[in-house]
């Protein structure tokens, strides 16, 4: 191809179903980084990719270009194996908050760069910022130094890491091109592989409260993520996990921090801990500090029983400017002024708790963002949730709304009355942990 290649030529080639060259993909990503492609051209290209797709080779090239659009963190001075975990997002998914210190307490470095919540799905950064004073905006040098010193750091994406993704993600969000597997791979992996990690474990969720509703589609995404990351030299595994009901018993930022602290003290909800252990086992196996899942499980359990994981969490909170007193007294976390019970209309066995309905109620309260610029209230949410398969009596509370606005509280209660189903018999068991991809 001779002479200059204009954005419209590259857009037309993908529109017509052609496989793009490495140079064409690089031009697209560079255009998002330096502004040489207009927003309308970037948007047209995103739609062309959405409609025509990308081959595995194109997706790997795109992901590498996204990763290299900024700085790739150098954690060579950190001698421990470096592993991260990423979740595709769900309702009540606070696993990163306690899983990271558990794994770090087992002799593995966990450098984790996380995101904020948007829409119904919560964000790790918003949860961490519910801890008074906690800083998620560290420089790359502060990040590297903390990982070297503590073996643990949870921060937000810096300006230097994968800047093309910030631009393209914002455009995807407003052009109906979010649900595209090549674009998802590029967005997730560009940030994760720019962290300086050695290996990666993914939690790919499916169900009503997940980004991917169908298990088959979640499997397709997991396989693509594992294939691209492995091609780029980063051993990666993915677990499929169900997101039909909220994970744990709390949805909302401060409420979820308090639940994660309970997990670190050995008092976590059974479903939350099942997902935590399943992911933690794979992290330790990939990092090479355990040779069997049973051995990895023992190490993780020991990190809880000895208090080592809780100590890691406390040290991280202190290092990042947070009030570590919340570890001993979660009541120091932001508290809502209004609490309303949601009563069960009848006695029986809980058949269903709709994760999406609970998420939308929490969103109405202000626990999340309908738009990127919305402010989050860290104190509000839905707590004391019942779980599928539990027995409940008529009039008993199956959830408690935490609110700072009376109208929002009443509307959330009305929304939640549709979220729980009670029956006469215990429901059949459902699979929470699905298949492992990349084993």
Q: How far is CA 415 from CA 26, 180, 214, 338, in A?
A: 46, 30, 24, 17
376: tokens are 């989050």
> Which are the catalytic amino acids?
86, 165, 172, 187, 191
- For residues 69-90, b (16+ Cβ closer than 10 Å) or e, as one string? bbbebebeebebbbbbbbbbbb
d(CA 325, CA 34): 44
Check if the beta carbon of residue 36 is closer than 8 Å to that of residue 30.
yes
**Three-state DSSP class for residue 302:** helix
When computed from its CA atoms, the radius of gyration of the chain, rounded to whole angstroms, is 22
What b/e readout covers 304-319, taking b as 16+ CB neighbours within 10 angstroms?
beeebbbebbbbbbeb
Contact 24, 41 (CB under 8 A): no
| Nearest C-alpha neighbor of 381 from the set 132, 130, 205 | 130
CA dist 268 and 160 (Å) reads: 36
Question: Which is nearest to 225 in space by CA: 215, 214, 236?
Answer: 236
Name 226's Cβ contacts closer than 8 Å, sequence gap at least 6.
202, 236, 237, 238, 437, 438
Q: How far apart are CA 80 and CA 63, in angstroms?
A: 26
Asked whether 131 and 314 are in contact (CB, 8 A), the reply is: no
Is the separation of the CB atoms in 261 and 300 below 8 Å? no
List all residues 6 or more positions away from 104 whose beta carbon is below 8 Å from its beta carbon.
Answer: 110, 150, 151, 152, 309, 312
Measured in degrees and rounded to the nearest 5, phi and psi for residue 25 equal -65, -40
- Distance between CA atoms of residues 183 and 312, nearest Å: 35
Residue 113 phi, psi (nearest 5): -105, 120
Per-residue tokens: 266: 């050995």
For the residues of 187-253, what is the DSSP string, one character each?
Answer: HHHHHHHTTT-SEEEEEEEESTTSSB-SHHHHHHHHHHHHHHHHHTT--EEEEEEE-SS-SSS-BSH
């Amino acid at each position: 191809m001779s002479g200059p290649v204009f954005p419209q030529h590259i857009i037309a080639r993908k529109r017509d179903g052609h496989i793009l060259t490495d140079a064409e993909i690089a031009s697209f990503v560079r255009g998002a980084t330096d502004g040489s492609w207009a927003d309308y051209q970037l948007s047209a290209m995103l739609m062309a990719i959405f409609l025509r797709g990308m081959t595995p080779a194109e997706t790997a090239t795109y992901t590498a270009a996204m990763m290299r659009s900024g700085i790739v963190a150098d954690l060579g001075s950190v001698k421990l194996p470096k592993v991260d975990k990423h979740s595709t997002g769900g309702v009540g998914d606070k696993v990163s908050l306690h899983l990271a210190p558990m794994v770090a307490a087992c002799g593995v470095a966990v450098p984790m760069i996380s995101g904020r919540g948007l829409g119904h799905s919560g964000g790790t950064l918003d949860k961490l910022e519910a801890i008074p004073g906690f800083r998620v905006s560290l420089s790359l040098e502060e990040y590297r130094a903390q990982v070297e010193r503590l073996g643990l750091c949870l921060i937000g994406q810096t300006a230097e890491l994968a800047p093309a993704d910030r631009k393209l993600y914002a455009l995807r969000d407003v052009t109906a091109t979010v649900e595209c597997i090549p674009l998802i791979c590029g967005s997730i992996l560009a940030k994760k592989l720019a962290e300086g990690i050695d290996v990666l474990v993914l939690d790919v969720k499916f169900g009503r409260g997940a980004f991917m509703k169908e298990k088959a589609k979640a499997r397709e995404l997991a396989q693509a993520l594992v294939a691209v990351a492995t091609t780029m030299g980063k051993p990666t595994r993915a677990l499929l996990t169900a997101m039909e009901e909220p994970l744990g018993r709390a949805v909302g930022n401060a409420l979820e921090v308090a639940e994660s602290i309970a997990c670190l003290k050995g008092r976590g909800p059974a479903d939350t801990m099942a997902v935590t252990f399943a992911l933690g086992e794979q992290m330790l196996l990939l990092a090479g500090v355990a040779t069997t899942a049973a051995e990895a499980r023992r190490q993780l359990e020991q990190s809880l029983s000895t208090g080592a994981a809780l100590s890691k969490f406390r040290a991280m909170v202190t290092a990042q400017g947070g009030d570590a007193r919340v570890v001993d007294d979660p009541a120091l976390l932001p508290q809502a002024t209004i609490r309303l019970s949601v009563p069960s209309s009848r006695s029986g066995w809980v058949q269903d708790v709709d994760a999406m309905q609970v998420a939308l109620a929490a969103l109405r309260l202000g626990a999340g963002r309908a738009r990127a610029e919305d402010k989050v209230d860290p104190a509000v949410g839905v707590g004391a949730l019942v779980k599928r398969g539990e027995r409940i009596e008529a009039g008993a509370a199956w959830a408690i709304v935490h609110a700072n606005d009376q109208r929002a509280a009443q509307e959330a209660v009305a929304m939640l009355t549709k979220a729980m189903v009670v029956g006469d018999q215990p429901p059949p068991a459902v699979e929470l942990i699905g298949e492992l991809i990349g084993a």
